[in-house]
A and B are shown apart, each in its own frame.
Chain A
Amino acid sequence: MAQSYMRVTRRGAIIGGVQLIFAGTLAVRMRHLQVEQADQYRLLADENRIKIELIPPKRGRIFDREGRVLADNEPVYQVTLTRHDAGDVEEVIAKLSHLLELDVDTLNDATEKMGLRRYRFSPVPVADRVTWEEFSRVAANAPALPGVNTEVGQSRIYPRGGAFAHVVGYVQRVRDVNLARYEDPPPVLRLPGFQTGQLGVELEYEDDLRGFAGIKQVEKNANGRVIRELGRQQGTPGADLQLTIDAELQEYVTARLGQESASVVIMDLDSGDLRAIASAPTYDPNLFVRGISFSAYKELRENDRRPQASKTVQDAYPPGSTFKMLTALAALDAGLVAPDETVWCPGHLEVSGRRFHCWKGAGHGHMNLEQSLQQSCDVFFYDLALKVGIEKISQMAKRMGIGERPDVPMSAVSAGIAPDRAWKLRERGSEWVIGDSVNAAIGQGYVLASPLQLATMVGRLATGRNITPRLIKSVNGVETPSRAGESLGLNENHLRQVRNGMYAVSNTRRGTAFSSRIVAKDMRMAGKTGTSQVRNITAAERARGVTRNADLPWDRRDHALFVNYAPFDAPKVAVAVVVEHGGGGSEAAAPIARDVTLQALYGTDPPLDAYPERDRSRIAAQQERLRREREKASKA
C-alpha cells in the first residue's frame, strides 16, 4: 500500500513538474507576444479597424467674364438599400416602387450586387438622380422602409446649355482613359460616381477644378460596417475659373449660327480675350453628365454637321483669300511691291505650263495692291508669289500665328499649316514646286488655319502686336496675365496699306463685302472674304462653266470665310467666321461677321441705323427672332 502510494506521488510529481514547465513556456510565449511585440500588434489592430475614407471635394465653378455661371454643382439625390438591414429585400423594393419611379437597369445592377456577400452590409444604390419630391417622399416613409437610405451627392450641371459645350466641355464619371493621364492617379478619382473633366476647359483645367479630397477616419467592423467616425480633415474645394467669354454674346453668336455647320471667334484687341468662341450646331453637355442614351448619341455622331466638333480650334481650313493679306505683307516686307504698282489680270496666269485661274474668269484688268484686296484678285497674288517665294510667305504666316498651336485650354487644338519647302519634303516627301507657291499665295493648297488662328491673324494685322488668345480670365480670383502682346516690329506703312485694302473690301462699292458693311461711322469694319474650295475644278467643268455652289450637294460646296476687325479707326475686336459648305465668303460669312461684330461692339442688339438702310427691316425681324430663340433656349 505504502509502496503504491509512494509511486503515485512520485509519478504525480513528475507530471506536475512537466505541467509547470509547460505553463512556464506559455508564460514566456505570452510575454513575447504581449510585451515585446505589443506595438506591432497594436498597429495591426488599428489597421484592422480604422479605415480612411475620402470626402469628395467640391468642384470649382466656371463663370463667364461677367460672373454668370457656366458650370455649377447641383445636389443629386440617391436612394440606397442595405441588404442586411432590409430583411426582405423584395418587399422593400415593392414598397419603394409605389413611392418613386424605379429604373429597371439600376435595379438589376443593385439586386445583382446585393446578392454578393461583401455587399451584405454596404448600401447599394437602387435609384439614382431621383427628384426632390421623390426623395422627400422616401425620406418621410423611412420608418416603413428598413435598410433604405437617402443620400445627397454632387453632380455637375451646365445651366446655360449648348452654347458653351465646346468651350467648357463636360464631366463624366471617371473612366480608364482619365486614370491613364496620371502616373499615380489621385485616389479621389477611384471614388464610385466621381466626375472628372472629359473635354474642353473641364478637361484642360481638371487639376485646378478638382480640388483636394478631405479625409474621414472611420472605425469599421469586420463586416465593413461603419461603427463611428473618429476624425475628419476637410479637403480643399476646386478653384473657380472665370472665362473671358461673354455668355450673352456667345449665346447670341450660337443663335445666329443656328443649324449652320459654322464657327465664330471674337477676340478682344486690348487683351486677347476671347469674348466668344462658338461652334454650331451645338449639343447639350448635360446629356453627357447624366448619361446619354445610345440613340441620342448615335444621332449626334451621324449628324453630318458634326455637332460634337469644336470647329473653332480643332478644324483647320484652307483660309482662301483671307490669307492674301499675309502674302501682301510678305511682299511689302521684302520690298517687292510698291503701292501704285499694278498687275494686269486677264482672268488667269500661266505658270510653268499650267494655267492658274482667277475667280473672275473675265479678269480684273489693272490691279494695284489695295484694289486686289478689295476685289480679291487672284492673279495679282499669283504674281506676288512668284516674286516673293514660299519661304517669306510662310515666315510671315507664322509670325501672324498660323502653323503654331494656339495656347488655349480647349480640346484637340489644331496647329494649322504654314507650309514651306522643308515642310513639304518632311511631310509629303516631295520637292516644293512653283505651283505650290501660287496656290499658297491665295490660301489654297497646303495652307491650313483654324478660325481661332484667323481671328488671331486679323488681330495682329489690326494692332501690329503679337496678340494671342486668352480664354481663362482668372483662376480662383487671380487674374491671368494679359495677352495683348508686344509689337511685331512690322512696318506701320505696310500694315496701313493692307488695312486700307481690308477697309475697301467692306466699305467701297467694288469691295467683295460691301453689301455687308456697317454704316455707323465710328463702328466701320475692315474685312476680307474668303472662299475655300472643297473640291478640284476640272478643265471639263470649267469649259462647261463652273457649276454654281447652290446647285451642288451641300457637302461639296465651298467653305465660306470672313475675317474682320472693327472699328476701323480704333480696333476693339477681331472676328473670324467660317461657314462650312456655305458657298462664297461674301454671301454666307460676311453677314454673320457683321452681325456678331456689331453685337460685340454694342454689347447688346445694335441700333438698326448701324446697318445700311435696305437691310434694316430684315435685320429688325432677325433680331426679334433671335431674341425669342435665346429666351426659349434659356427657359429650357
Chain B
Amino acid sequence: MSYLEYSTKYVPKGWRKILHLNWGLLLLMITVSGVGFLMLYSVSGGNFSQWAEPQIQRFGLGLSAMFIIAMAPIWFWRNVSVVAYGLSIILLLLVPVLGVSAGGAQRWIDLGFMRLQPSEISKITLVMVLAAYYDWLPLKRTSKPQWVLAPVLLILVPSFLVIQQPDLGTALLLMTAGAGVMFFAGVHWGYFIGVITAGATTVWAVFASRGTENQLLKDYQYDRIDIFLDPSLAPLKEGYNFAQATIALGSGGLTGKGFMQGTQTRLDFLPEKHTDFIFTTLAEEFGFLGTMSLLILYMLILAFCLTSAFQNRDRFAALLTLGITLTFFLFFSVNMAMVTGLAPVVGVPLPLVSYGGTAMLVLLGAFGLVQSAHVHRPRGRS
C-alpha cells in the first residue's frame, strides 16, 4: 500500500491540521512534564538551573519535534520506517566504537551538544518497523511460521545489541514491546503461549538445577540473581538504596511532607533521586494523593492513546499507536513497580518526569507519531 491508496479526501490539510491534533493527549503530556519540572526543582534543593532548566529546554525542543513529526503525514512515516530502523541499528553498532561509558555501562554516543542514547531510539524504530511490516504483510500470512520468524529477527537484533552494552532492562522492554506489536497484529496465540512456556521452563530449569551436579550457572551468578530479586540481601549496596527509597515512599503518608520538605530527598538519602528514583521524591513530598494523581494522569494518557488507536482504521497507524502506548506503559509501570518493590531494580526512568535528554526527546517524538496517526486517520467511508 502506498500513500496513494489512502483516502486522503477528508484528511485536514495545512495549518488546519493543528485543530485536529489530539489536544487532550497533548495537555496531559504537558501536565505530566510539568510535574517532572517541579520534582526536578525540588530534588535539586531549589536550584532551578541544575536539572529543571535543561529539562524544560529539552521539553521545548521535543515539543517542537513533536509538532513537526505530527504535521508530516503518517504514510510518510510508514515509508521511512525501514530506513529509521536501519539507522538505529547502525547507531547501536557504533556505541561500542564511539560510545562513552558511565557507571560501568556503555550506552551513549557523545554528539557534543548532547549525549545520544541509541537504545532509546531503537525502542521507537522497532515499533515502527514492526507496524510497517504487518501493514505490508497480507493478513493470511500473519501466523505462518516463516512470516513470524522475520519480525522475531527484527526484535532480536537490537535486543542483542542492547544486552551487550549491557542493559538488560531496556532489552527486555524492547522484546516485550515488539512482542506486543506482534500480538496486536494478530499473530496466533500459540506462539505467545509457546514463548512464555519456554521462558518459564528455562527459568525453572536454572533454579531447579541450583545446588545439583548440573548447575546451569555459576554460584556467583546465582548470588547476583538473588540480590537482583531481593535487594535486602545486600544491605550495604543495592539494599541500602532500595531501603532508603522505600522509606522515602512510605514516609510520605497520605498527603506527603510538602513541596521541598522531603527529608529523604533533601538530606541525600535517596539514590538517583533525579533519574530512576524521582517517583519516590514525589511520593515523599505529595504522599499517596500525589502518587495516585500521577498514576491517573498516566492512565489517562493510555486511555487517550488507546481510543485514538481504536478509532483509526489504518492498520499501520493503529499498530504504531498501540505499540508506542505499550512502550510508554512499560516505562512507567516498570519504574513504579521497581521503586515500590514489586519488580527488581532495573534502570528504567519514569517517562516525561525523570531527568534525561534522549528519553524525553524520543518520547515526545514518538508521541509526534501518535499525533500524526491521529491527525491523518482515514475519515468518512474508506
Chain A interface residues toward B at CB < 8 A? 1, 3-5, 7-9, 11-13, 15-16, 19-20, 22-23, 25-27, 29-31, 33-35, 37-42, 44-46, 48-49, 219-223, 227
Which of B212-220, B228-236, B305-313, B362-370 lies at the binding interface? B305-313
Q: Is B340 interfacial (CB-CB < 8 Å)? A: yes
B306 touches A34 (CB 8 A): no
B250 touches A4 (CB 8 A): no
Closest chain-B Cβ to A51's Cβ sits at a distance in Å of: 11
Which of B263, B302, B319, B326 has the most C-beta atoms of chain A within 10 angstroms of its own C-beta?
B263
Q: Known: A9-B310, A15-B180. Is A37-B250 also a contact (CB below 8 A)?
A: yes
Interface residues on B, range: 35 or more
A-B contact count (CB 8 A): 136
Q: How far is the CA of A4 from the CA of B254 in the complex (A)?
A: 46
Which of B34-42, B58-66, B241-249 lies at the binding interface? B241-249
B287 touches A34 (CB 8 A): yes
Q: Is B73 interfacial (CB-CB < 8 Å)? A: no
B186 touches A11 (CB 8 A): yes
- Chain B residues within an 8 Å CB radius of A38: 250-254
- Chain B residues within an 8 Å CB radius of A44: 247, 250-251
Closest chain-B Cβ to A5's Cβ sits at a distance in Å of: 5
In the complex, besides A4-B315, A26-B333, A30-B249, 7 extra interface pairs with C-beta distance below 8 angstroms are A34-B291, A45-B247, A45-B248, A49-B263, A221-B266, A222-B269, A223-B268
- Chain B residues within an 8 Å CB radius of A15: 180, 183-184, 322, 326
B250 touches A7 (CB 8 A): no
Q: Is B382 interfacial (CB-CB < 8 Å)? A: yes
A12: contacting residue among B263, B269, B306, B341, CB under 8 A: B306
B184 touches A12 (CB 8 A): yes
Q: How far is the CA of A190 from the CA of B95 in the complex (A)?
A: 54
A1 touches B313 (CB 8 A): yes
Chain B interface residues toward A at CB < 8 A? 139, 180, 183-186, 244, 246-254, 263-264, 266-269, 283, 287-288, 291-292, 295, 298-299, 302, 306, 309-310, 313, 315, 318-319, 322, 326, 329, 333, 336-337, 340-342, 382
Q: How far is the CA of A9 from the CA of B317 in the complex (A)?
A: 12
A19 touches B302 (CB 8 A): yes
A220: contacting residue among B267, B310, B315, CB under 8 A: B267
- Chain B residues within an 8 Å CB radius of A33: 246, 249-250, 340
Q: Known: A4-B186, A15-B322, A26-B336. Is A20-B249 also a contact (CB below 8 A)?
A: no
Closest chain-A Cβ to B30's Cβ sits at a distance in Å of: 21
6 A-B residue pairings within 8 Å (CB atoms): A15-B322, A26-B342, A38-B250, A38-B252, A45-B247, A221-B267
Closest chain-A Cβ to B107's Cβ sits at a distance in Å of: 27
A12 touches B310 (CB 8 A): yes
Closest chain-A Cβ to B126's Cβ sits at a distance in Å of: 17
Q: Known: A33-B249, A35-B253, A219-B267. Is A4-B183 also a contact (CB below 8 A)?
A: no
- Chain A residues within an 8 Å CB radius of B266: 221
B269 touches A49 (CB 8 A): yes
B184: contacting residue among A8, A41, A49, CB under 8 A: A8
B253 touches A34 (CB 8 A): yes
